[in-house]
Structure 1
């Protein structure tokens, strides 16, 4: 007669399953790293031959044909992909920062970034974001097409005055200037409550658009002070930054008094909700529109970390805003802190 299963067997099962998943993940990372190294070397060999011997297009076409014949069960050796390997090597081989990073994301992600991004700093941003947040290929394409890079660099916050240097850059990269909620089914006219309810029916794409490792805590989150009730529209938690994130939704333009209300919410959260090992709570005020100078003045004297952004159902970043992006040196410093 077999012995009964011990009470703590479930804990053993969970530990073993976690270890297996961890081993599988590490194995996949190792395979991906080797695949990227292989494609890098093939690109290097082709580029070198072209430079030294003047080989042309016909060589790549023949190489693709021969490799497909030699390795019929292995994909990735089409002429188009071999040209990508050459462009991949040519783009990155003379850089200092990017070559070690490209092996940390998949080949299809690398190709999207290579073909859709315009400069090294933009590529570095999307490589780091993909690595950190585990973006799929489709999510990455969506983020690039929605100009997440530009919208993040243009964000309006007071984090330089209110947040410790240890998390400042990471927090700046967690708040965008504009958010695209093209997944919401709203008409031309709607109330703040209808906006909130629409978001609650599509929490997953909402968190994805917010960008990062956010967890949803609640809507109309209740705070009680001296028998008075107050409600935060949406309360999130940023898992990487380890802080509560209060979000206020406004269907009109930004008004300076919104900052005072958010400061109140953050003070209460820090005093009554935040755990001792968590970072100070952060506020994000989302409005339909804003005037940048008004936001700057409203945040100037605030002692709580607050960001102000806008949201659009469909959005394209105006050309004049692209011209306001920070200098490359400032962008490089910002990205260096995002590890």
Structure 2
């Protein structure tokens, strides 16, 4: 028989630990906001003095030396970092939408975004995603180098026609146009089974590449329809969308027949596996390659929410695809889904 006092103590301990962690997190956020505000104020002062008194490089270098002498145990006041404060303020002071976001992420994250992203919408995307998923500096750098922003904006789904307005943008953000599985140990020629087994051996990295809000449900997920059995390659669950996500793995080029098969799987999932409080199941078909026009036609008449994506083991995104990105108004509406 269990000890009620022991159980009560265990519950108390868990609650206290959670309170401590929450307090620590809130304290770190407060410290970060104060530091960002400090750097912003210093950057503003430097900029104003440059405008009013034509200050040059030597003044900033002297300021750095004097600050380091006055505060010997505090880092962050090198000449290089002071110049970054000035650039930080200059870049964002007139951007009403971005100004509140800079205090929501760390200084090193801000520097990465400031230096690597040249477009305001791209910066907003990475700020929101960093805040949402708690990306480390290295993860953020990887996401930028891997062109996550472009790959999400270029994705091919039918979500606009199928899903409700409440979850449409969130769902579109959950599907990339291309996934990079550079952590998989695969030869150029591999079977669908080998791809699946390799993913299962690196499932944590796979889930991170898929977007960070997925949990793993199972592989070769069994569905019994009539007197027959059917198996979905991978089944995930999206915590924010609150829906099952069926993934089919294809090592060749996309063909329209894949959509019909995925529609069948989603219909069966919705009837047999979906819980009453969950949203409609979503399908992602991962192929080695695809023709965007064929995908567009294949999805046009589909009555289930499906996205078609490709996968590679090396990060690539042709530069000419930059010209195919949606217009700024469409991008801005999509970014509103990242809370």
TM-score by length of 1: 0.97
Q: Which residue of 1 aligns with 2:282?
A: 282
Q: Tell me if the contact between 1:43 and 1:85 (Cα under 8 Å) persists in the aligned partners.
A: yes
In structure 1, C-alpha distance between the alignment counterparts of 2:61 and 2:141, rounded to whole Å: 29
Structure 1 residues 186 and 80, CA gap change in structure 2 (3 angstroms):
same
Structure-1 residue corresponding to 2:214:
214
Aligned counterparts of 2:193 and 2:40: Cα–Cα separation in 1: 52
Q: Residue 42 of structure 2 corresponds to which residue in structure 1?
A: 42
**Partner Cα separation in structure 2 for residue 162 and residue 283 of structure 1:** 12
Does the 8 Å CA contact 1:247/1:286 hold for their aligned counterparts?
A: yes
Shift of 1:112: 0.5
Q: Mapping of 1:129-278 within 5 angstroms?
A: 129-278=129-278
Aligned residues: 337
- 1:6 Cα deviation after fit: 4.1
Measure, in 1, the Cα distance between the counterparts of 2:300 and 2:7: 58
CA RMSD in angstroms, aligned pairs only: 1.3
Deviation at 1:69, TM superposition (A): 1.0
The CA distance in 2 between the partners of 1:131 and 1:224, in whole Å, is: 41
Unaligned runs of 5+ in 2: none
Q: Is 2:36 aligned against 1:72?
A: no
Quote the residue 1:109 is aligned against. Answer: 109
Shift, 1:4, TM fit: 9.5
Q: Is the 8 A contact 1:212 1:238 kept in 2?
A: no
Q: Distance in 1 between matches of 2:101 and 2:240?
A: 20
Asked if the contact 2:132/2:338 (under 8 Å) is kept, the reply is no
- Cα distance, 1:7–1:206 mapped onto 2, change above 3 Å: closer
1:135-189 Cα shifts (integer Å, max 9, x gaps): 1111110010010101100000000111000011111111110111111111111
Take 2:28 and 2:297, find their aligned partners in 1: how far apart are those partners? Answer: 49
SS at match of 1:166: helix
Report the secondary structure of 1:121's partner residue: helix
CA distance in structure 2 between the partners assigned to 1:153 and 1:267 by the alignment: 27
CA distance in structure 2 between the partners assigned to 1:237 and 1:203 by the alignment: 14
The aligned residue for residue 333 of structure 2 is 333
Task: Identify if the C-alpha distance between structure 1 residues 4 and 151 changes in structure 2 by more than 3 Å, giving closer, same or farther.
Answer: closer
Contact 1:218/1:234 (8 A) holds in 2:
yes
Which residue is 1:86 aligned to?
A: 86
- Post-superposition CA distance 1:294-339 (Å, at most 9, x none): 0001000111110000011112211221111111121112112322
Aligned partners of 1:36 and 1:103 also within 8 Å:
yes
- What aligned pairs does 1:281-320 form with structure 2 within 5 A after superposition? 281-320=281-320
Give the Cα–Cα distance (whole angstroms) in 1 for the partners of residues 73 and 114 of structure 2.
27
Question: Does the 8 Å CA contact 2:121/2:332 hold for their aligned counterparts?
Answer: yes
How far apart are the structure 2 equivalents of 1:246 and 1:154?
Answer: 21
Gaps of at least 5 residues in structure 1 are: none
Cα distance in structure 2, aligned partners of 1:271 and 1:17? 40
